[in-house]
Structure 1
Amino acid sequence: MKLILSRKGFDSAAGGVPSPILPDGRLLALPIPDAASTIRYGDIAVDGAPLASLVTPLTRGKVGPEGGAHLDPDLIADMLPRAPGWRPIFGQSGQAQGHLRNQGVGPGDLFLFFGLFRWVERHATSWRWVPGTRPCHAIWGWLQVESVVAVDQARGDDYAWAHYHPHFRRRPDPNNVLYLARRRLALPGLDAALPGAGTFAGLTPERRLTAPEADRVSQWRLPAWCYPGDGRPPLSYHANRQRWRQHAAHTELSAAARGQEFVLDGDAYPEAWPWAGELIRAKTTTRHS
């Protein structure tokens, strides 16, 4: 089994700003702009309001209600009207999918989605970034893979529920695939009935990747077991041992800017599964079927 840290949502390159941490502590990963998508920011609902009411002021009008949104991964049912049979889904293509394929990612493997976040607050009738706060990387959602389907093979009626997805708007490409979520999480040693995909309720120290007081968001503090010692293969894109520092209670990592997905071999790191299971067990939101 593989555990994949997958970078998704707004950042300085895609969207131009972080995603928001709402006043109640919830992480809201903003889907990046996508002119080819038929999903608009005005179509996506958050707490019954259009996502554009948050995105537009935070981007100072650069992203508006009619802008196309790349809602991917798509994990929360009530963000859009759904066709019968809908389930959480994640699409990947191009070089990033090539990396996942080369790493052997497939059914049973677990994606943990992370992104760049910063606190926001109400200001008059709109939203703004909380003055003096700094962005950080944090884990905001998960998806355990049930199956991997090429988009070119999913254009028939059996996958009609998925045809809204932005990856169906791309040209035919055998390297353009969908990762469909399991209904229930299945991890080694897990004895709880948990959903196979969802989003986390809020920011906690365990879900925060950026180290406290770090100068850069890519300076991460990870559990001690993450250190690639004793001949264990490191997290993909992180073979340079100078990126790693081992401490008694934690591991520090200078995370690579390159790559959307960082893959960990769960057979070499069996500690990953109780850690991930507990991360998902604790205070989650699961608004999907």
Structure 2
Amino acid sequence: MKLILSRKGFDSSAGGCPNPIFPDGSMLALPIPDSKSTVTYRDLQHQLPSGEVVEVSDLVSQLTKGKIKPAVGAHLDPDMISSAYSREPNWRPVLGQTGAAQGHLAKQGVDVGDVFLFFGLFRDVEPYKEGRKKARWRFVPGSKPKHLLWGWLEIGEKLIIDQTNFSSSESDRLMWLAYHPHMHGEPDANNTLYLSSAMSMFADSPLDAKRAGHGIFNRVCEELILTQPSSYKNSPNKPSFWRLPEWFYPYQTDASHKNREREPLSYHHKSNRWFEPSNGYCQLQSAARGQEFVLDVDQYPEAKTWLAGLIQRNS
């Protein structure tokens, strides 16, 4: 099994700002701009845990200070929330990947049964009026951006678009995918869709047996924060200096495994990125580039228990 830490949502280059953490602690990974998409920000909405509906076009326009307009195309990918957009029957959460990023996933052998764990750059937001009749969204003054885990997708089906034979029956089955941005690009042999499994492998009890193989984490909590809390003092790449559970550390430190090394998280092979475990954690200077960081769970068996706990406690 492979675990893929997958960078998704707005950031300083794609979108130009962090994703929002709302006052109730819930969060939303914003789809990045895409001029080819048939879906615009005006078409999207987000429901807070309270039931309040937030127009995504307002969020994007206000948080980017008008740089991204409501009519701009939105790259709705990964597409994880059913209520975000008008759906066709049989819709399932889906992630598309192409180009060099998909080449990396293919090289790592990512396939059905593996798990994407999504992370992104987030910052606290708040509504404010300042003399206006209607409140606008802004980033909380003085708040700091940080990398957070925000959701997951267990791969139930893998479709390589350029190789898929869309027979009549297959076309009917996949008609709901017509909106997806990876169905509208130029021909690309790497263009791949990963569809969520219907049931999760991480059910924790018979009552939980119908848990779906995907989800969004409810609210920010300590175990979802990747950024090292003290990194703003200790690292020039502040949000990218991570604190991870100590089992992520690829170099064995106990006497019985003194010379044994495991394959590190992909894109993180340089040993000077890693800092030895202390107090149950290790530190990592995460790569600024790259979307998909792959870990071989067969070499890190603790990953399954950790991932199951994240899902059971936060979704």
Q: 1:224 and 2:241 equivalent?
A: no
1:241 match: 271
TM-score (ref. length: structure 1): 0.95
Which protein is richer in helix relative to its size? 2
Deviates more, 1:240-249 or 1:147-156: 147-156
Counterpart amino acid of 1:87?
R
The corresponding residue for 1:198 is 215
Provide the TM-score with structure 2 as the length reference: 0.87
- The CA deviation at 1:174 is 1.8
Work out which of the residue numbers 142, 145, 153 in structure 1 matches 2:152: 142
Distance 2:141 2:289 in 1: 29
Mapped partners of 1:30, 1:67: distance in 2: 13
Cα deviation for residue 154 of structure 1 reads 6.9
Q: Secondary structure at 1:264's aligned position in 2?
A: strand
CA distance in 2, matches of 1:190, 1:4: 22
Of 300, 309, 313, which aligns to 1:278? Answer: 309
What is the CA–CA distance in structure 2 between the aligned matches of 1:154 and 1:116, rounded to whole Å?
38
- Where does the alignment leave 5 or more consecutive residues of structure 2 unmatched? 48-52, 130-134, 233-237, 252-259
Instruction: Name the counterpart of 2:201.
Output: 186
What secondary structure does 1:72 align onto?
A: coil
Amino acid at match of 1:202: R
Question: Structure 1 residues 18, 154: closer, same or farther in 2, change over 3 A?
Answer: farther
Aligned-partner SS, 2:154:
strand
Give me the identity figure in percent: 51
Instruction: State which of 178, 181, 184 in structure 2 corresponds to 1:169.
Output: 184
Aligned to 2:50: none
1:12 and 1:18 in contact (8 A); partners too: yes
Letter in 2 for 1:41: Y
Q: What is the distance in 2 between the residues matched to 1:46 and 1:177? A: 26
**CA distance, structure 2, for counterparts of residue 268 and residue 71 of structure 1:** 33
Quick check: 2:18–2:122 contact (8 Å CA) kept in 1?
yes
Tell me: CA distance 1:258–1:49, structure 2 relative to 1, closer, same or farther (3 Å). closer
Partner of 1:83: 88
8 Å CA contact 1:23, 1:120 repeated in 2: yes
1:29-87 CA distances to partner (integer Å, 9 max, x unpaired)? 00000000011101011123421111111001111110100010001100011111100
- Residue 235 of structure 2: aligned partner: none
CA-based RMSD: 1.3
Number of the residue aligned with 1:3 = 3
Gaps of 5+ in 1: 285-289
Residue 157 of structure 1 and its aligned partner are, at CA, apart by: 2.5
- 8 Å Cα contact 1:190/1:274 also seen in 2: no
Aligned match for 1:117, one of 119, 122, 132: 122
C-alpha separation between the residues in 1 aligned to 2:183 and 2:68?
22
Count of residue pairs the alignment pairs up: 283
Match for 2:299: what amino acid?
Answer: A
**Aligned match of 2:255:** none
